[in-house]
């Protein structure tokens, strides 16, 4: 057999089938006024290698891979009717052509209209500013550029066209804002300019001796403004490296068009007062977050900017989520208390990696900048604040009263004096400011208390007065229930009476006396009563008393009464007839019963039917069985003591004949 000739006979047939292709969007008859998407669908028995878009027979664009989506810029073509087709090619050179699709191009020659809605003309701004544009177009708006002094800093591609701008990127002074709007046909228009004044509070000036931004006069804020701007594609940093000791920045300054850099530094006091030693300030650091991992800000302070010795304040770690999702401008903050020193400095070191904190790290990406500011000596011109906190206004008082005041000062309160009218009754030189005032020797009267607070500068403040009603008379108290020598069980209502010319504040109930007294509970309104659970008490004799208190704290004790707690039922047993005995016509039922506090009665039962009771020992009843059914019966005796405790004897079984 000739195998080689067989192989030649089986050579593959040539591909002669053209691809199929069609335009799926836009629809025929569409009027096009701007850039639109033209979408095509193509298929082949082997593979589609290329799809081309034609307008009026001229090639517009082509794609070699699906999806076949073309951007048709209508502004490039004359107004009027046009015909679109697409061609699909396969590897064998076969060509398929779509059905023609008619469109009408209507050239848009009208530019958009744009203006700046905010800020307003002549506005003074600082920090991060919101800029809003008004934009309209007869067809559509594709984008809006925002410009400062003619330089674009942001583009908005969707309404509402609002962007934020960090005004630190320019120097303090007048500047011009404009917007430039584009429509889908690339028509553009620029808004009328809006003049603004950038005025960062506490704007620093470059100090050529220190070689850093500095605020030489004492203020409540020092801001580097735009003096630290620049690095990489942003442009060179003015007066680089802006460090007191000449510590140079890293040389690698670009990462995917996001330059790692410190934008600005600001030191401020939240209360608006000047920088002074011992006061807390906030340091804000604005940075450009790049696409690096492990970025952080090391913050340092120096009490003497002329000979800086850097102290590490804190490390501010950059959130890793920012690297992928929110790269760009971010502000971080820290606080510290100013040390002594007339000219101080802060340093921000924006670094990559995880080295030990160093004020002058060596990584090629690192950026560090200093800010110098003057610190003054604070003069205390503010008197302290003081108020009486105890006793309350119009309170009753008696015996010994603790008088309290709250006092504060921006520096220090040296002492607080307490006065009864114009008479000083005491003082305290340390928080909490208080004293004990003995008034047990005073009769019923009204007194006015005040507190005077002093600071180290000699300022004095007197509190608002507090009126105190002195009452050293004790109330009256008496015990009402239970009665003396009563037998009690279970939960018992205990009641007391009390009276006072100025009212009763509360009544406390106790069991026991002296150091053995135990509080049962308290009642604050008449009738003064509460529930006493004797089940938690020991069996036997208890003494009870009540303590009544008036609003001044005067107390009176009621008489002491004794009661007996008895929660144990009597013991009882049937002695006759005998268990298993027989009864004919009648029988005398007998039982024994005993209790520490006496037996009140014994009742005899045939099952659940009462046969009879006896209240004196020996306990017995006569049981006539004439009307009782013959057969077995279960007899029990139930004993009740004087307080109501009840117990039943074991049952006995007898046979009635």
- Give the 3-state DSSP-derived string for 19-65, with helices as H, strands as E and coil as C: CEEEEEECCCCEEECCEEEEEEEEECCCCEEEEEEEECCEEEEEECC
User: How many residues does the structure list for the chain?
Assistant: 657
Domain with CATH 2.60.40.10 in the chain: 20-105, 113-198, 385-464, 476-565, 571-656
- Give the span between the Cα atoms of 300 and 359, in whole angstroms: 7
Find all residues with CB under 8 Å of 148, minimum gap 6, and list them.
165, 169, 170, 175, 176, 177
| Residue 354 confidence (pLDDT) | 59
| Residue 324 confidence (pLDDT) | 41
- Give the span between the Cα atoms of 452 and 437, in whole angstroms: 16
Phi, psi of 8 (to 5 degrees): -65, -35
- Give the span between the Cα atoms of 314 and 336, in whole angstroms: 10
Q: 458-469 burial, b for 16+ CB within 10 Å, e for fewer?
A: ebebebeebebb
Find all residues with CB under 8 Å of 397, minimum gap 6, and list them.
391, 439, 468, 469, 470, 471, 552, 553
Q: How many CB atoms lie within 10 A of CB 494?
A: 24
> C-alpha dihedral over 475, 476, 479, 480, to 10 degrees?
-110
- Give the span between the Cα atoms of 590 and 577, in whole angstroms: 7
The domain 476-565 having CATH identifier 2.60.40.10: the answer here is: yes
Q: Is beta strand 423-428 parallel, antiparallel or unpaired with respect to 400-408?
A: unpaired
In the chain the first and final C-alpha atoms are separated, in Å, by 129
Write out the DSSP string of 557-605. Answer: E---EEEEE--PPPEEEEEESPTT-EEBSEEEEEEEEE-TT-EEEEEEE
| Residue 76 confidence (pLDDT) | 87
What residues of the chain score a pLDDT lower than 50? 1-11, 255-258, 323-326
The domain 571-656 is placed in CATH, from the list 3.30.70.380, 3.40.50.2000, 1.10.10.10, 2.60.40.10, at: 2.60.40.10
- Give the span between the Cα atoms of 17 and 90, in whole angstroms: 9
Q: Tell me, which fold does domain 20-105 have in CATH?
A: Immunoglobulin-like (2.60.40)
Write out the DSSP string of 303-326. Answer: S-TTS---EEEEEEEPPTHHHHH-
Find all residues with CB under 8 Å of 547, minimum gap 6, and list them.
477, 507, 508, 510, 555, 556, 557, 558
Cβ(355)–Cβ(334) under 8 Å?
no
What are the start-end ranges of the H helices in 406-535?
none
Q: Tell me, which fold does domain 205-374 have in CATH?
A: Immunoglobulin-like (2.60.40)
Provide the token pair at 556: 């009176």
The domain 113-198 is placed in CATH, from the list 3.30.530.20, 3.40.470.10, 2.60.120.10, 2.60.40.10, at: 2.60.40.10
- Give the span between the Cα atoms of 86 and 103, in whole angstroms: 14
| Residue 159 confidence (pLDDT) | 92
With vertex at residue 61, the alpha carbon angle to CA 56 and CA 64, rounded to the nearest 5 degrees, is 130
- Give the span between the Cα atoms of 343 and 370, in whole angstroms: 13
By C-alpha distance, which of 330, 281, 323, 318 is closest to 166? 330
What CATH class does 385-464 carry? mainly beta
- Give the span between the Cα atoms of 464 and 419, in whole angstroms: 12
Question: Exposed (0-12), middle (13-18) or buried (19+): which is 544, by Cβ within 10 Å?
Answer: buried
Find all residues with CB under 8 Å of 359, minimum gap 6, and list them.
247, 298, 300, 310, 312, 347, 349, 368
């Amino acid at each position: 057999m000739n195998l080689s000739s067989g192989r030649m006979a089986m050579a593959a047939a040539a591909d002669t089938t053209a691809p199929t292709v069609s335009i799926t969007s836009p629809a025929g008859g569409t009027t096009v006024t701007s850039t639109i998407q033209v979408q095509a669908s193509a298929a082949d028995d082997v593979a589609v290698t290329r799809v081309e878009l034609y307008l009026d027979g001229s090639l517009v664009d082509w794609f070699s891979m699906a999806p076949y989506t073309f951007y048709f810029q209508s502004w490039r073509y004359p107004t009027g009717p046009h015909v679109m087709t697409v061609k699909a090619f396969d590897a064998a050179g076969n060509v398929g052509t779509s059905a023609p699709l008619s469109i009408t191009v209507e050239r848009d020659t009208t530019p958009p209209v744009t203006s700046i809605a905010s800020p307003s003309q002549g506005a003074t701004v600082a920090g991060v500013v919101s800029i809003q544009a008004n934009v309209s177009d007869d067809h559509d708006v594709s984008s809006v550029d925002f410009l400062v002094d003619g330089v674009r800093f942001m583009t908005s591609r969707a309404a509402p066209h609002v962007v934020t701008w960090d005004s630190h990127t320019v120097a303090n002074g007048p500047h011009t804002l404009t917007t430039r709007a584009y429509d889908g046909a690339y028509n553009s228009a620029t808004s009328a300019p809006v003049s603004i004044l950038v005025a960062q509070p506490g704007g620093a000036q470059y100090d050529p001796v220190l070689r850093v931004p500095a605020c030489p006069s004492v203020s409540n804020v020092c801001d580097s403004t735009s003096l630290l701007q620049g690095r990489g594609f942003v442009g060179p940093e003015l007066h680089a490296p802006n460090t007191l000791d000449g510590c140079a920045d890293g040389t690698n300054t670009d990462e995917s068009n996001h330059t790692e850099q410190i934008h600005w530094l600001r030191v401020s006091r939240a209360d608006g007062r000047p920088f002074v030693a011992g006061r807390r300030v906030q340091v804000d650091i604005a940075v450009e977050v790049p696409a690096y991992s492990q970025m952080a800000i090391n913050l340092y302070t120096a009490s003497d900017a002329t000979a800086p010795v850097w102290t590490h304040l804190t490390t501010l770690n950059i959130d890793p989520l920012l690297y992928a999702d929110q790269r760009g401008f971010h502000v971080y903050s820290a606080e510290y208390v100013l040390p002594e020193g007339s000219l101080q400095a802060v340093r921000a070191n924006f670094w990559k990696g995880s080295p030990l904190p160093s004020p002058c790290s060596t990584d090629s990406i690192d950026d560090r900048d200093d800010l110098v500011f003057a610190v003054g000596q604070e003069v205390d011109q503010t008197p302290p604040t003081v108020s009486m906190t105890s006793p309350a206004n119009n309170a009753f008082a008696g015996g010994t009263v603790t008088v309290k005041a709250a006092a504060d000062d921006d520096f220090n309160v040296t002492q607080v004096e307490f006065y009864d009218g114009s008479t000083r009754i005491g003082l305290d030189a340390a928080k909490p400011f208080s004293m004990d005032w003995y008034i047990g020797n005073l009769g019923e009267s009204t007194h006015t208390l005040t507190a005077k607070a002093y600071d180290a500068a000699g300022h004095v403040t007197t509190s608002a007065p507090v009126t105190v009603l002195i009452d050293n008379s004790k109330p009256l108290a008496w015990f009402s229930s239970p009665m003396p020598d009563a037998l009690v069980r279970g939960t018992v209502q205990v009641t007391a009476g009390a009276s006072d010319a100025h009212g009763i504040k509360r009544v406390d109930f106790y069991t026991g006396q002296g150091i053995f007294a135990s509080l049962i509970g308290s009642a604050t309104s008449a009738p003064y009563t509460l529930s006493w659970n004797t089940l938690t008490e020991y069996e036997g004799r208890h003494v009870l008393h009540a303590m009544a208190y008036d609003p001044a704290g005067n107390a009176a004790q009621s008489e002491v009464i004794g009661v007996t707690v008895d929660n144990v039922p009597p013991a009882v047993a049937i002695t006759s007839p005998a268990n298993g005995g027989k009864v004919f016509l009648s029988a005398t039922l007998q039982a024994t019963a005993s209790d520490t506090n006496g037996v009140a009665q014994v009742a005899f039962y045939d099952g659940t039917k009462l046969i009879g009771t006896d209240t004196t020992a020996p306990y017995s009843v006569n049981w006539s069985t004439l009307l009782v059914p013959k057969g077995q019966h279960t007899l029990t005796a139930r004993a009740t003591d004087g307080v109501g405790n009840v117990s039943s004897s074991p049952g006995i079984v007898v046979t009635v004949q």
